[in-house]
Structure 1
Amino acid sequence: MNLLKSLLILIALSCIPNFCVSQPKEPSSRKQRINQLVENDSIIEATSLLHADISRFKANNQPLSLAYTYQTLGSVFSHIESYNTASNYYVEAYHLFDSLNKPKEVDNILTQLSRNYVDGKDYSKFDSIIPIAIQHSTKLGSINVFYSLESKIRKNYFIRDYARTLEEADKALKYLEDFEFSSENKIEKVRLDASYKYYRGVALVNLKQFREGYQVLFKIDPNNFRTYGKENVFPLSQVSTLNYYKFRYFNERTKHLDSANTYLLIADSLKYLAIQDFQHRISKNGDLIYKIITTEKQLQLTNTKRRQQKVLSNAFLLSTIILSLLLTGLIIFFYYFYTNRKRINIINLKLKESNKKLKIIDKERLEFFSILSHELRTPIYGIGGLATLIKQEQSPEKRRSYLNALISSSNYISVLIDNVLQISKVKFENKQLHSKPTNVLQLVKRISSSLKVSANQKGLELYTNVEKTKWDELLLIDGVVLSQILINLSYNAIRYTSKGFVSINLTEQRRTNTHVNILFEIKDSGIGIQSKHRDIIFNAFENKTFLEKNSTGSGLGLYIVKTLLKSYNSEINFVSKPNEGSTFYFDIDFEIAQVASKTNQSSIIQLQSIPTKILVVDDNSINLMVTQKNVEKISGFGSDTASNGREAICLVKEKDYDLVLMDINMPDMDGYEATKHIRLFNPNIPILALTALNSAEIHTKALACGMNHVITKPYDFEEFKSILLSYSHVYQD
């Protein structure tokens, strides 16, 4: 019995000092002062200082210091076992650290909060936060991961889920074995190892795996629990429980009653000490919590009074500012009232001037549309009359003459409509060129032949002069743009020349390996232009004023020429003498096209002998007839027709066509949709859009839906033929 008493005294003396608070030290800072107050159980003083710090940090906008203060308050309330209050402060600290991007501090808070939830038996909140805490610590490689794992093991132990306790303890021990601890944390590794093995042994015994469980428990050195000595009576409980299981081992397994009684006595004695300490802390903590709550209420009342005083002070300051602003506003108002009256008078004068200009512009536009109406009606009337005369006339020569006149009127209407459409485009000056290999001599010949009828009708000589070193050379040219430039300039020359000549001259100025520069000149012996009108000659709507009674055109041709030449980075200029004539000239750098090899040329010649079958799709019967006839003019070409997109799809499926000419605007199913359907089952057949629409948007949309090329109506037959031959060759080859 004396031996037993001595043993108990030794245990108490060896364990209890490690569970008590440390001796007070001389503080070196406010933080050390607060820590010392907590260790000495001066909780009220510590919380008062911390609440004062909170007020100061909030007022000075110091979120980091405020977060540390919340964390300290959480630790204080956890120390006195007020777990709900501690959790609230931990959560506040967590939000601040997270917003300030402080990962290490967030890691510490999550670990403390997890342990606090376990100690407070708030297991639902613990289950929600513990995966986040473990993940965060693992990512940082922090030792806190082992404290979170220990909290997880304790939670399962407290709810008597011994299977999960065993599973988590095994995982923790494996992770602990692989983790590299720093030298200062080696002692903590020993404590964690003892703690994990303790819970593992207890779990094994309760799962009736007695042999392995008791082996684990008997290997644990109780002294390894001491390094954790600031967890109140918890280590006492561990040592007491450890001795209880040793009692069970000797009592139930080996039937060694003396040893069993010895361990039972030790366990009961330590349990008694733990209960005494727990009851003492409960009594003391209750008083502390009451006093802290009272102190907090006093602080809240003081802060409320301060806020009220601050609100009153701010209200007075705000009213003073408002009165000052009102006074300043009145002064500014009267100042601007007088100054704005002067400005309004000036603006009114400018508006009157602008109104006058707008009226002039409106008058000019009305005049333009009046002229345009006349310009359209005249050739339309002529076309109708000439068609009737051709039908009635029996003489072949007269019918040929009427037919030439009809072609001239048709060409004039086409140019006029093109000009009006071009001038109406908002993005006209950003026109993109669509260049392709072209023989410039052939292009000029086609333009000259279309102009010859108009020139002959006025009794004028039309000359075409081309001075070039390589006649058969192909240049990269946008034929539509260049044709429109030359046709506009030539029609102007014909229109304002009553006798004499009009000539189109091309001169090669310089040449490199890749480019050739050509000078274009359109000369006439017409009415000429006075020097005072040079500034307005290229302006839309204004350029007709200098012509006075000689004007019969729309006034758009030269403006369109100037704008189109910007696409070629070129400028138009002219020389002129009144009543003697004018010369308009410009030069363009053309890129020389790569010439196909003789082998390829010979294969193309051979392919021309292969019959080519084309499907023409158009909802307009006249256009359908004209296109079909033009196709059949080409040697070796035959055609079928379809009047809508659905019919075209069926025919392409049924027959083997070499090429499709597809109108875009059709009812029921337009050309875009028809092309998309055809591409689903025939991705290779060339599909060429044949449309009266001419814009970059149409070209882009056509290529996007699967079309290969866009031919704009009306078109030149030779160019039309060239395009069809090129695509039929590509497909057949």
Structure 2
Amino acid sequence: MKRIILFIFFIVGIVFLGNSQENSGFSKNDSLQSLLDISNNLTYKYKIKESLEYAIKAVNYAYQLDNDHYKAEAYYLMAYNYNTLVDYKNAEQYFRKSLEYAEKSSDSLLVLWNYNGLGNVFSEGYKDLESSLDFYHRATNLGKKLHNPMEYMTPVINLAWVYIDIEEYDKAYPYLVEAERLVTESNDIQGFCEVRYLKGRYAFGKKDFDQAEAYFKESIELSKKHDMLLELSYLYKASAELHEKLGDLPAAYQDMKLYNEYKDKLYDKERLKQIEVASISFNVDEYKREIELANREKDYQISIAKNNRIINLISIIALIFLLGAAFFFFIGYRSKKRLNNVLKDKNLQLSEAKSEAEKLTQAKSQFISTVSHELRTPLYGVVGITSLLLEDKDILEKHKKLLDSLKFSGDYLLNLINNVLQISKIESKKVRLAKTPTNLFKLSQNLLNSFEYQAKSKDNVLILDVDNKLPTSLNVDSLKLSEILINLIGNASKFTENGKIWLRIKILALEKNTIKIRYEIEDNGVGIPEDKKDFVFEKFSQVDRESNKLEGTGLGLSIVKNLLTMMGSKIYLESNEGRGTKFYFDLELEILKEEHKLAGAKRNNGATTVYRRILVAEDNKINQIVTKNLLNLIGYDCIIVENGFNAIQMIKKEDFDLVLMDLNMPYLNGNEATKRIREFDKTTPIIALTAAELGEVEEECIAIGMNDVINKPLNKGDLRDIISRNLL
């Protein structure tokens, strides 16, 4: 929460920066100030791309005027925007530039806020608390000299917050006392709530639970009175932790509900929509800029070619007119040299623009990845608890229908998140093929069976047609192929009612070590109009969405097209409106010997018959409940710990058959815990639990000694399979 508080103080600081211009001893420029004001206003609307553009324009203008103060302000806005995008490397770079020019222009207020910004980068971004504390102390010392309680209060609160976070309560106490004095003098309601919250955490850390509860209640009542959503969200979370410590689980559960309620209000759909639109617009704008620069380069190339023809013509004339040859040659040489210099400058500008585009693309990908991870974590609780409730045989039918609808909505939202993340990874070229021995018949059969419930609900018949000569073991990326088939079968099911859906595997060519096959997915549904066929593979494209009730994001076929391109293939479409649609693609694959371990085999649907003890390392309370109940359903006993340090201690004291290790935990994360466990225990299987994309973490997890990785949210079948596989 410290970072969000800094964010709020940063915005307040912009206003103070504008006011400080009257006393900083420099000439005010209305045009430049207008650029800075526009950039600042755009940050409130989460239009980060546009805000960066105006900030960059302001930097360039400030350099033309050679005005150090305006350079400092413009670089500060750039740093602030990169901090919002969690691009801490660029945020640090521009905070330091802003600090350099703020010191040159003797603007103490700008210096203070840059110290705060750097403290935030090192605390929240680099987790370097020593450097973070150094910057906050600098801001505190400077704040005393400004004689402004509002400015001095910010770093004081941050220092108290950091020391409480690292549980150095004695060092935090003097800053708590000073912060309470400052908020009282300035009559700052928000600051008062934050100080009461920190004093509650201080009392909690000192085991004074009654005092902690009193501070939390006082701050909650005041925050409710003034509708402070941010403060209410982290206050209820802290209160939930306190009640859990006291053993009052009903009160802790109620606090967690209120925490999620206020967190949802704080991050409403419209705000997320604006951030998503801003991040998606990055690619389009940068692509247009690259095209424009490419056209300029082309124009210069044409200009050079034209001048070269003139030079050649002059050379021919020079053979006839010897006296004029030297003169015309000199003119041509000068012209060519000048144009070459211009071309070099343009090429340099193009290179710089390309570099900036790559930085923005990287920031966008990191932002989408972070948001996707944060959305997956609460979804695990929603989907997991719903699945557990559906396992209850005594549930009323009317409640079962509501739970089915809730689970469908959760699965749909999870699929949407995965599709957006997959598109982002493909565009940033982070997707890699991982071929494994695969039984295509069993893989296709399992995928088709997974659509059985959906098919029955729409009175559709699923038909699998596979050539009998298809080899048992083929070398292919089974995960990518599964994703392609799931999108195509799902698309066919969406547009078909009371019909048939065929999944066919045909052999086009068969040799000793290679085979060429064709996958066909055909339905007799509504079909695709002729004028829509050229657009169905574009992102967010949907056929006649306004006139039907079919859901979807329009990303599935775009993902299919990109994945097949990676696999060296191409998707083809045949369709007649009202008669159905057929998609097909060809793959040339290596034939493997049958002793290879095959992907695509059916899972063991029975429960375990052997008593096993499993250690679960998971910090999220809801995830603990879901994981424990899933393990109980499939026949395993488990013990739960909240962080990596406790997991190490538990394994040293007791024997476990397997460990489920969450990667992101406080105090000691899953990766570090695994490294330490492997120092004294080389045999106990460790399976990583993660809400991130498997491709982003799998290689590192295996390298440090983990045996396998499974993605959240968990389901009973996948969890049973991966445990069985690692206990064999």
**TM-score, normalisation: structure 2:** 0.41
Q: Mark the structure with the bigger radius of gyration.
A: 1
